[in-house]
Each structure stands twice: as C-alpha cells, then as structure tokens.
Structure 1
C-alpha cells in the first residue's frame, strides 16, 4: 500500500490541482490511499472536514481516479497537523500546494509548505497553486 498525505487548505483550485497531480502519478491506484488533511484555524460551529468544499473537491477527483480517500480534520497549526498525520500513517509521500507569496509575507506569516519541507524526512511533492 502506498500512502499519500495531502494537506488541503480552503482553496478549491489548489485542492483540484493536488488531486489532478496525484491522479496522474504512475501508480497502481488500487494500492494507493490518500489521507486528506485539513487544519481548522477556528471551528466554533463544530463543522466536519467533509463539509469543507476544497476537501470534497479533492476527494471526488481522487475517488474518480480509483484512489481510496480518508479525510481527516485537525485544529491548530496546519504544518504540524500534516506532519503528525504523515507520521501516524507512516506516509510514503506528502503532497502540498504552494502559492505565490512576497518575501515579506513569508517572513511575517511563515509558510506551511516551507515548514513541511524542512521538518520531514519524507518525500514532499509541491504542486503549483495555480495563483
């Protein structure tokens, strides 16, 4: 079994790009599981990960490609959530979507993609965010 952990934010276009990239990988889809990780910065209404449209977009596309999908929602820091889930599932790969940011924006707000890349020994695939 090949396990891919996919960090999904709220941007539907990035989620679609990630799903399309994974679906186009030369893998036996019946032996692939994609764990879609969405980190809620705030979830006062008690929403579930399945209610996040970008997660549904990615899940639908991956399932169309014959890939098993498991959505998981977490609260707090997105990079930590992605890395923790990758460890929990002993993931073979992590997939994130990058986006264009100014140098100042990167310094002030950090970057989930950058944190994931720097804080793991697992292979990380960065998809174009389409921005």
Structure 2
C-alpha cells in the first residue's frame, strides 16, 4: 500500500491544495493510505487537530475520494514533526503546501516547506497556493 503524509497548517486553502494533489496521484485511492499531520506550536485552547477547519476539510475531501485517512497531531517544530512522522511510518511521499514569500521573509521567518524539502529522506511534493 502506498503511504502519503500530508503536513497541514491552519490555512484551509493550502490544506485543500495538498488534498487535491494527493487525489490527483495515479493509482486507486483504495490502495493509498494518507496520514494528515498538524503540529501545534502554540495551543492555549487545547484543541485537537481534528477540530481545525483545515484538517477537517482536507480529511473529509480525501475520505470522500475513497482514501483511508488518519489524523495525527504533534507539538513542536512543524518541519521536524512532519519529517519524523514520515520516517516512523515509512511514508512513500510527503506533501506540503507552498506559499509565495519574499527572500527576506524566508530568511527572517524560515520556511517549513523549505526545511522539509532540504531534509527529507523521501520524495516531497509541494502543492501550490495562490496566497
């Protein structure tokens, strides 16, 4: 069975871009397992990943497309958590959402997507985002 790990933040458009990219992969959905992971960097309300609109929308879409979907949550650096989840589950592919940022913005604030691409031990797909 093919296994895809999707990193989802709070942005619903990026989450859906990732979900649509997975749905567009070749092969039958019933032969692909998807793990949607959200890493909390700050969670004062104690919410679970499944309560986030971005996670719910991506999960609902993928399940409607026939994928077996699991939701995982973690806390800490999102890139590190996503890479660790991919290693632990021996994922075949990591999918992350991209967004347009200036070079200065990347240097000042870092980039989860960039960190995942540079440190992944497996293929990474970046799903585009208009924002």
TM bucket (normalised to shorter chain) is: over 0.9
Determine the structure 2 residue equivalent to 1:27.
27
Count of aligned positions: 131
Which blocks of at least 5 consecutive residues in structure 1 are unaligned?
Answer: none
Which blocks of at least 5 consecutive residues in structure 2 are unaligned?
Answer: none
* Paired residues for 1:1-131 under 5 Å: 1-131=1-131
CA distance in 1, matches of 2:95, 2:69: 14
Q: Secondary structure at the match of 2:117?
A: helix
Q: Secondary structure at the match of 1:121?
A: coil
CA distance in 1, matches of 2:70, 2:35: 5
Q: TM-score, normalised by structure 2?
A: 0.97
CA distance in 1, matches of 2:39, 2:111: 14
Per-residue deviation at 1:130? 2.0
Structure 1 residue runs of 4 or more that deviate by more than 6 Å after TM superposition: none
Per-residue deviation at 1:74? 0.7
Per-residue deviation at 1:7? 0.4
Q: TM-score, normalised by structure 1?
A: 0.97
CA distance in 1, matches of 2:64, 2:96: 20
CA distance in 1, matches of 2:79, 2:31: 26
Alpha-carbon displacement from aligned partner over 1:89-118 (angstroms, at most 9, x marks no partner): 100000001100011110011100000010
Per-residue deviation at 1:11? 0.5
CA distance in 2, matches of 1:27, 1:76: 33
